[in-house]
Amino acid sequence: MRTLAIVTASLFAIATGALATPASVSVSIAPALQAKAAKTLGVRDVNELADQLRTRVERRLAKTGAYQGARLELVLVDVQPNRPTFKQMSDQPGLSFESFGVGGARIEGRAVAADGVATPLGYSYYEPDIRQAAMRATWSDAESTIDRFAYRLGRGEGGVRR
Q: What is the pLDDT of residues 100-145, one digit of tens each?
A: 889 999 999 999 998 999 999 999 999 998 887 777 888 999 999 9
| Residue 157 reports pLDDT greater than 80 | yes
**Largest interatomic CA distance in the chain:** 72
Q: Helices H, strands E: what count in the chain?
A: 5, 4
Q: How confident is the model at residue 161 (pLDDT cuts 50, 70, 90)?
A: low
- Residue 118 vs residues 61, 70, 114: alpha-carbon distances, Å: 17, 9, 9
Average the pLDDT over 64-68 and give the result.
92
Contact 80/105 with Cβ under 8 angstroms? Answer: yes
Contact 45/82 with Cβ under 8 angstroms? Answer: no
Cα separation of 124 and 133, whole Å? 17
Average the pLDDT over 35-46 and give the result.
96
pLDDT (tens digit, 9 = 90+) per residue, 3-38? 544 444 444 444 444 555 778 999 999 999 999 999
